[in-house]
Amino acid sequence: MSEIFISADIEADGKLVAVNSMLSLGSVAFTVDLAGYHQISTFEENLLELPGAIRDVDVMEWWKGFPDSWKRIRENAEDPAIVMKRYLTWIKSLNSKCALVADPAAYDFMWIYWYLLRFTGERPFGWSALCARTYAMCMLKEEGWVHFSKKSIPARFKSDHPHDHTPLNDSIQQGQEFAAMYRENVLLK
């Protein structure tokens, strides 16, 4: 069986785990072979805010630019404990050790890790995640992390899937881009 990757994206009302809240979580499980990206399964749910958490003023100002996405990530929100238990069950249903892919991984992983550990007591991804942007920068032998952004990724890797600040769409888009890079870098050598 091919390695299973899980591209994950979160949306939050702030920048600090446990001070602010993760509001929505989306993931897509996929494999990559010579033909490309193969979607296996998806997960997307909205979470209620943590009791006592606060909303970051700057982040909430940013959200004003995406009212449709904000509305979508607040619909049918559920208790984080219930959502994270469902997410863990979904991960385990893949019957494989999975590699988490995010962009930037440092941001999305810290939320997912904390919420999984806090509400399920488990760490299905261990201590690590793959950063799609770092992978691209290294693969392309680019210098200057500070200046390397999503816009720096070459067109041949770009996905036409929408990136609209809803976690499932963003997960699919970054998963397809990572798969294109992985295919070229590893499988077409």
> How many C-beta atoms surround the C-beta of residue 106 within 10 A?
12
Which residues in the chain come in under a pLDDT of 70? 1, 144-146
The reported pLDDT for the residue numbered 1 is: 52
Residue 176 belongs to what domain range? 4-187
Instruction: Tell me which residue has tokens 């997307």.
Output: 44
Give yes or no for a contact between 4 and 40, defined as CB atoms under 8 angstroms apart: yes
Residue 77 tokens, joined: 């929100």
User: Average pLDDT of the chain?
Assistant: 94
pLDDT tens, 103-158? 999 999 999 999 999 999 999 999 989 999 889 888 888 776 667 777 778 889 99
The reported pLDDT for the residue numbered 162 is: 92
Report which of 53, 27, 31 is spatially closest to residue 187, judged by C-alpha positions: 31
The reported pLDDT for the residue numbered 141 is: 86
The reported pLDDT for the residue numbered 189 is: 77
What CATH number corresponds to the domain at position 155? 3.30.420.10
Q: How many domains does the chain have?
A: 1
State how far the Cα of 9 lies from the Cα of 24, in Å rounded to an integer: 8
The reported pLDDT for the residue numbered 43 is: 98
Give yes or no for a contact between 53 and 21, defined as CB atoms under 8 angstroms apart: yes
